[in-house]
Amino acid sequence: MTPEQLRDVVRTAVAAAVDRGALSVEVPGEVVVERPKNPEHGDYATNVALRLAKPAGLPPREVAERIAEELRAHPGIASVDIAGPGFLNITLAQGALGRIAVQAVTAGEGYGHTAVLAGQKLNLEFVSANPTGPVHIGGTRWAAVGDALARLLETSGAEVTREYYLNDAGAQIDRFARSLLAVAHGREVPADGYAGSYIGEIAAQVLAAEPGLLDRPEDEQLQVFRKRGVELMVAEIRSSLAAFGVHFDVFFSETTLHQSGALEKAVARLREQGHVYEADGAVWLRTTDFGDDKDRVLVKADGEPTYFAADCAYYLDKRARGFDRVVIMLGADHSGYVGRYKALVAAAGDDPDEHLEILIGQLVNLLRNGEPVRMSKRAGTVVLLDDLVEAIGVDAARYALARASVDQQIDIDIDLWTRRTNDNPVFYVQYAHARISSVLRNAADLGLALGEAADVDASLLTHERENDLLRAIGEFPRVISSAAELRAPHRVARYLEELAGTYHRFYDACRVLPRGDEEATPLTTARLWLCAATAVVLRNGLGVLGVSAPERM
């Protein structure tokens, strides 16, 4: 019996107690069944009696007793104890717990998939690093976390579009183009330009693709460097992300918004809603009506639209494409945008709490020799996605970035990571998978197969370490769904570390395969299923994080 099934059993028990007049309460739609930390508190515990005590007008322990009477009648439940203030501690019948292993193996890749977010169509925008340079380590964090979140949401039944907003218009692209032009002519880059070594490489590639370019008028050259340069930069960004295992469904060009007249339409729509005014020669959006600190300029006095105007158009474009919810991941250095963004959604007539979700993640600090590394794109002193991958590999990089809460700043000590010590928990988790794979290979060599699900006697799994493992495996679907709902992929990583530890302890205490000339027993088969189930969960969980599950290490 899975925790989800038990939850229904508990709810049904409450309903039964109400039916026979033992309780006069409204049956709750959801009841909480959780795994107690203390094994003496049974396989599962529920606080439903504590919740119902007040509405029932009875002491919590009395409510618990009346529910317990119903639960004890269930064949899958061995015992129910009332503990503490009124918790119901439930121990499952022998075999009911063991079936979890069979269910996990049978479900395979589908184990952990739920429908809790079914029917939601959402747009997840992340990374969106400017195409004026390679993806640096900050963007890499959002690549790892954003992609994991996308997989998590999909696993929970949502329809997700991964989107990357390309800021390929505006002054910074001008600076980028002028930097390319300067380098191509052997001149110093402008003071406000970009100076990384990649600028020279991109410039050379542009010249290779456009022979004779330097003989044309300089303003024409600038246009070519701008167009070709951005194309090449975007190609490099996509290639880095692809090597990192991150693929976007849509690369959305800001320029297309300018060219299609979407900005003017957006301003017009906001004007119709009555939130636009003119002052000091500029066009403003009255975002203060919706909680922003100050009003924002849409069109500058010189007639140029602001970046914010493009944001408005972009948001409206996403909504027009049919997304129920627009999710944007931003770094903490952009946290000031939340107010104006929420306000623009409200000004457009949408609900800022329902249609827009902005996830702010804290920044990644780099330490070298224990000292923070100052990062500057201009000076070229940045650590790039490619550098991180080269130093520690995709698996370790993705795992390390995804295992911390996004609310937490990460300090990455470059020397530590480049040293390749086993401080990285990803090895611990992957090792558990490799170990299981080895056991299953050895079993196959001995001619032992899992066989049919119906033939497994799961009630033989009675060892405490086996029960621990079964309970952990049973948690997986809810770990996935709650991590998806909370937008917290790091929970999956933490869970996998626990699961790996639980498996290692099982492995240490419980021999799976027969030794020497011993015969395989039904317990051997049951334990093989337990191993296979653990491997399924490790694979699926690592898959959510975009980390490989090696069969050998």
207 vs 311, which CB is nearer to RNA?
311
List the interface residues with RNA, window 428-457 (CB under 7 A): 428, 431, 434-435, 437-439, 442
With contacts defined by CB under 7 A, how many residues of the chain interact with RNA? 90
Site track for RNA across 187-206, x = CB under 7 A: --------------------
Amino acid identity of residue 51, one-letter, is: R
Nearer to RNA, 187 or 552 (CB): 552
Neighbours of 547 (CB within 10 A): 25
* Sheet containing 33-34: order of strands: 33-34, 44-46, 87-92, 77-83
Among 548, 543, 487, smallest CA distance to 124 is for 487
Q: Which is nearer to RNA, 131 or 161 (CB)?
A: 131
- Residue 204 vs 376, nearer CB to RNA: 376
Burial state string for 279-299 with b = 16 or more CB within 10 A and e = fewer than 16 = eeeebbbbbbebebeebbbbb
Question: Which of residues 8 and 249 has its CB atom nearest to RNA in the complex?
Answer: 8
Which of 207, 470 has the CB closer to RNA? Answer: 470
Q: Which two tokens stand for residue 406?
A: 């996004």
Binding mask 305-324 for RNA (x = CB under 7 A): -xxx----------------
Stretch in the footprint of RNA (CB under 7 A) among 102-110, 167-175, 204-212, 227-235: 167-175
| Joined tokens for residue 69 | 């009477």
Identify residues 265-284 at the interface with RNA (CB under 7 A).
279-282
CB atoms within 10 A of CB 276: 19
The amino acid sitting at 183 is V
Of 491-520, which residues contact RNA (CB under 7 A)? 491, 494, 497, 501, 504-505, 507-513, 515
Between CA 394 and CA 245 the distance in angstroms is: 8
Which residue among 45, 58, 150, 397 contacts RNA (CB under 7 A)? 45
Short-list 272, 344, 281, 289, CA closest to 315: 344
**Residue 540: φ, ψ to 5°:** -65, -40
427 binds RNA (CB under 7 A): yes
Contacts of residue 46, defined as CB under 8 A and 6 or more positions apart, other chains included, come to 10, 31, 32, 33, 34, 87, 88, 90
287 near RNA, rule: CB under 7 A? no
CA 52 to each of CA 15, 24, 85, 281: distance values in angstroms, whole numbers, following the listed order: 12, 10, 13, 62
Say whether residue 25 binds RNA (CB under 7 A). no
For position 302 contacting RNA by CB under 7 A, the verdict is yes
Instruction: Report whether 111 contacts 537 (CB < 8 A).
Output: yes
Instruction: For RNA, give the closer residue by CB, 274 or 550.
Output: 550
369 binds RNA (CB under 7 A): no
User: Contact 139/248 with Cβ under 8 angstroms?
Assistant: no
DSSP one-letter code for 519 = P
Q: What's the rounded Cα separation, in Å, for the pair 202 and 180? A: 7
Tell which one of 114, 120, 255, 405 touches RNA (CB under 7 A). Answer: 405
Per-residue CA distances from 483 to 150, 488, 545 (Å)? 11, 5, 12
Residue number, 129 or 203, with CB nearest to RNA: 129
Q: Cα 360–362–367 angle (5° rounding)? A: 160
Nearest distance in Å: CB 371, RNA: 14
**Amino acid at the residue 105:** V
Q: Should residue 391 be labelled a site residue for RNA when binding is judged by CB under 7 A? A: no
Site for RNA in 77-116 (CB under 7 A): 83-85, 87, 89
CB 384, CB 128: distance < 8 Å: no
Does 51 contact RNA by CB under 7 A?
A: yes
Query: Shortest distance, CB of residue 161 to RNA, whole angstroms?
Result: 24
With binding defined as CB under 7 A, does residue 130 bind RNA?
Answer: yes
Does the footprint of RNA cover residue 404 (CB under 7 A)?
A: yes
Q: Which residues in 330-359 contact RNA (CB under 7 A)?
A: 332-337, 339
Q: Which of 18, 50, 203, 544 is in the footprint of RNA by CB under 7 A?
A: 50
Return the range that interacts with RNA (CB under 7 A); candidates 121-129, 148-156, 425-433, 534-542: 425-433
**Would you say 304 or 354 has its CB closer to RNA?**
304
Site string for RNA, 237-256 (x = CB under 7 A): --------------------
Rounded to a whole number of angstroms, the minimum distance from the CB of residue 207 to RNA is 26
How near is the Cβ of 133 to RNA at its closest, in Å? 12
CB under 8 Å to 451, separation ≥6 — which residues? 525
